[in-house]
């Protein structure tokens, strides 16, 4: 019989955006179950055809009654099903999953760190969230960190150890599928027509959850100056408005609000990347920034924050530009530089695609993950 693997995540968004191709590859070798906070298998799309769907209510925010119930239900699931390996993603799911798997006696326990919520917090909240990450790491057989700079950061802060942690290849959660993410002129035009965007407009794309710590309000503020200097610029936001920021974004844009386009959700981010000219990710915290290398594979350069994680995803001055956190003038200037220089934008886009091909090819990341699973199943104490 094939080994059984349980993938645990707090939301189907995590699975659909970051793990879709990886789950498909894992299902060729293992019996895969996806434990996720969803009510219907349809929320996983085509993944429901290759993996078992197990609904599990895991709240992203701290809620002691809900968290205790989720912990108990995860423990019962792991005790009854006896998975050969459990692998968790996202902070809350990781903490509950590692505790439940350890209590249930699951030998192979893996968690992937994709950024630290506490990195931008202060006081008791920072301390508490940091302790939660420490417990997750302590109970895991090994932790995967999705960028080298993030791994250095959390080792420095005593959350993980060098021996108990690993980055797959050059980083990212699952790499980039180069057969899915690539430039396509026809789709560039088609998506713009569907959205009512002119073919020659300069489209600045943000793709992800609309949250304050993702810097979307800084982007809105910067876009006012961008639009002043680039009159045909369009701000395209693709992702759910989790913090209810759209009214504030619209007010911030003021006279530029007519240049805003919002798409609440998509299962095909590559379509919007192909329609864009520049990707913007002015985040305050980020584990790696998978969206950056996906856009890079579509020959779209990025302007992003100079923080751990994103410094791995963007080669500053070569595949895009890095700017200081919350530096809205710097953000605007970097975007304007790319928007007004077609040659520079094309050159950086080509360089971004080549770097994605060299460092972040999906098959390379998946190969290392499968190798890690094999080492854990073989009972190796030292993971290469």
Q: Is residue 382 part of a domain?
A: no
Q: Is residue 331 part of a domain?
A: yes
Write the CB contacts of 324 (distance below 8 Å, at least 6 apart in sequence).
Answer: 305, 306, 330
Residue 150 has what pLDDT? 97
Same domain, 160 and 206: no
Same domain, 290 and 368: no
**Domain range holding 14?**
4-175+362-377
| Sheet with 260-263: strands ordered across | 260-263, 233-238, 202-207, 278-281, 302-305, 320-323
Same domain, 144 and 10: yes
Residue 382 has what pLDDT? 60
CATH number of the domain at 81, please: 3.40.50.2000
Same domain, 105 and 241: no
Same domain, 154 and 267: no
DSSP state of 254: G
Give the containing element (helix H, strand E) for 137: helix 123-139
With 0.85 as the threshold, say if the pTM is over it. Answer: yes
Q: Is residue 95 part of a domain?
A: yes
Q: Is 279 exposed, middle or buried (0-12, 13-18, 19+ CB in 10 A)?
A: buried
Same domain, 158 and 302: no
pLDDT above 70 (res 334): yes
Same domain, 198 and 294: yes
Per-residue pLDDT tens over the stretch 152-181:
999 999 999 999 999 999 999 999 999 999
Same domain, 33 and 56: yes
Per-residue pLDDT tens over the stretch 290-328:
999 999 999 999 999 999 999 999 999 999 999 999 999
Closest alpha carbon to 87 in 136, 120, 123: 136
The CA-to-CA distance between both ends of the chain, in Å, stands at: 26
3-state secondary structure of 373: helix
Same domain, 23 and 158: yes
Q: Is residue 255 part of a domain?
A: yes
Number of domains in the chain: 2
Residue 384 has what pLDDT? 61
Q: Is residue 20 part of a domain?
A: yes
Q: Name the average pLDDT for the chain.
A: 95
Same domain, 370 and 354: no
- The band of 381, judged by pLDDT with boundaries at 50, 70 and 90, is low
């Amino acid at each position: 019989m094939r080994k059984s693997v349980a993938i645990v995540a707090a939301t189907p968004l995590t699975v659909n955006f970051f793990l879709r191709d990886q789950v498909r590859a894992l299902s060729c070798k293992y019996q895969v179950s996806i434990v996720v906070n969803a009510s219907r298998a349809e929320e996983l799309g085509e993944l429901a055809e290759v993996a078992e769907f197990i609904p599990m209510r895991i709240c992203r925010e701290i809620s002691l009654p809900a968290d205790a119930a989720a912990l108990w239900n995860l423990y019962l699931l792991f005790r009854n099903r006896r998975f050969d390996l459990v692998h968790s993603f996202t902070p809350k799911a990781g903490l509950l999953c590692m505790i439940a798997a350890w209590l249930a006696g699951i030998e192979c326990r893996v968690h992937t760190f994709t950024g630290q919520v506490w990195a931008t917090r202060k006081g008791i909240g920072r301390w508490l969230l940091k302790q939660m990450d420490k417990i997750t790491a302590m109970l895991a057989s090994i932790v995967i960190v999705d960028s080298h700079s993030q791994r250095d950061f959390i080792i420095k802060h005593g959350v993980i150890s060098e021996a108990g942690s690993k980055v797959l290849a050059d980083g990212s959660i699952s790499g980039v599928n180069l057969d899915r993410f690539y430039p396509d002129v026809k789709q560039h035009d088609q998506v713009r027509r569907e959205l009512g965007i002119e073919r020659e407009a300069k489209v600045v794309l943000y793709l992800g959850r609309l949250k304050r710590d993702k810097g979307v309000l800084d982007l809105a503020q910067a876009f006012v100056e961008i639009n002043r200097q680039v009159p045909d610029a369009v701000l395209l936001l693709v992702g759910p408005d989790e913090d209810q920021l759209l009214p504030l974004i619209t007010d911030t844009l003021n006279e530029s609000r007519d240049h805003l386009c919002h798409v609440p959700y998509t299962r095909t981010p590559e379509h919007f990347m192909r329609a864009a000219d520049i990707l913007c990710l002015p985040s305050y915290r980020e584990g790696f920034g998978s969206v950056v290398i996906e856009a890079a594979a579509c020959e779209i350069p990025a302007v992003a924050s100079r923080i751990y994680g994103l410094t791995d995803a963007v080669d500053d001055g070569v595949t895009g530009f890095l700017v200081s956190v919350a530096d809205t003038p710097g953000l605007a200037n970097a975007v304007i530089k790319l928007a007004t220089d077609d040659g520079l934008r094309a050159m950086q886009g080509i360089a971004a695609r080549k770097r994605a091909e060299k460092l972040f090819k999906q098959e390379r990341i998946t190969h290392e993950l499968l190798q890690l699973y094999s080492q854990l199943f073989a009972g190796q104490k030292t993971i290469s």
